[in-house]
Structure 1
Amino acid sequence: MSSRSDPNATRSGEVPILVGVVRETGPRVDLDDEELPYCFLEKSWAGIRFLLDEAGVGVDVYEDGDPIDEECVLFGWSADLVAASAEALGATPFEALEVHYDPRKLSEADVYPMRHMWDADDIGYLRDNYRDLVAFFRKTAASGGAAIRNFSF
């Protein structure tokens, strides 16, 4: 996982960042608090999304949640949505997604970031980021927290 202060995390194209908000009520939460659960998917989000869709897992890191700004860069995930996502992802080991990994299909579908150049070696990149995503949702759900998804272009 990358640091929140990484300049590329908010300036490079199409990068989702998830930050867990430990509580939905109570004192205001500082989103720069390094103790909050955090997941930086880099550019793996679309490949992970493709595999989740192919496997029929009902979690979409791009579309789920509710927009909380006019540009639809920030999406809020309620504690209930975080919990449901944690359950679905926790019940889906990467091996269940890996059977749907087909570099040709990903390339034909023009899935970001490799577009038409996916190959057999790219599965490791998706596996590592999926592992971080599952851990993020598990930790955030365990705290009863909600999340904010930041998707910068």
Structure 2
Amino acid sequence: MSMNGVYIRLTPSELTRALHDPAWAMEYVDGLLEAESDLEQLPSTARSHHTYGAWHALHFLLRRRGFPVDIVHGEEEVPGMQDRGGHGPPRCVAPDRVRIAADALLALTPAELIDGVTPGQLADAGVYPISQWADEHSLGLVTGVYPSLVAFFRTTALRGHALLVWVD
């Protein structure tokens, strides 16, 4: 089974409730994921988003650029949240931090994100999935998911929403 970066968009009131009632949050998240699992939604309407196996490369590449927000692992613990897949519990990104991230993502093109990086560097750094970084075309795993991630963050920021983030 492969690891997958997962994002759930929450309204401020949903985030407040999640922070006070993690059992409700997990049930709510599962319901959103199930409701959207068979739908092809645009990032502007979706409540969930996935970066699939690109999550670790995104983390590596964004950290390399000094990205101001940890959008791959989230920034704040959510007390009482349970591990979603063996890689830690969901964490949140508050609405003000989502806006900072959205602005920074918009300012960074896919080409700029991977500029100066070779697949070999990702493999040498142990970036998951190591077997992916075989040739110069393999960076397409990252540049292929990046535009929809930018759009999802932009929509989330425009709505003043927060995010739950985890790897499962």
- Per the normalisation by structure 1, the TM-score is 0.78
1:20-62 Cα shifts (integer Å, max 9, x gaps): 11x2127x79541645432101010111111112222223333
What is the deviation of 1:115? Answer: 5.0
Structure 2 unaligned regions, length at least 5 = 18-24, 37-44
Deviations 1:59-94 (A, max 9, x none): 333333212215342111111111111111111111
Q: How far did 1:119 drift? A: 1.9
The answer to whether 1:14 aligns with 2:30 is no
Larger fraction in helix: 2
SS in 1 for 2:164: strand
| Counterpart selection for 2:72 from 40, 52, 62 | 62
Aligned to 1:25: 13
Alignment equivalent of 2:155, drawn from 139, 143, 153: 139
**Matched residue, 1:8:** none
Cα distance change of structure 1 residues 124 and 59 upon mapping to structure 2, 3 Å threshold:
same
Matched residues, percent identical?
Answer: 25
Query: 5+ residue gaps in structure 1?
Result: 1-11
CA distance in 2, matches of 1:37, 1:118: 33
Choose the corresponding residue for 1:77, options 93, 105, 110. Answer: 93
- SS where residue 41 of structure 1 aligns? strand
CA distance in 1, matches of 2:154, 2:134: 29
Aligned partners of 1:59, 1:118: CA distance in 2, in Å? 29
Q: What is residue 9 of structure 1 aligned with on the other side?
A: none
Determine the structure 2 residue equivalent to 1:86: 102
Aligned residues: 140
SS where residue 49 of structure 1 aligns?
helix
In 2, distance between residues paired with 1:74 and 1:147?
Answer: 10
Root-mean-square deviation (CA, aligned residues, Å) is 2.4
* Contact 1:18–1:150, Cα closer than 8 Å, also in 2: yes
Q: Assess if the C-alpha contact under 8 Å between 1:52 and 1:59 holds in 2.
A: no
Distance 2:165 2:121 in 1: 27
Give the letter aligned to residue 59 of structure 2.
R
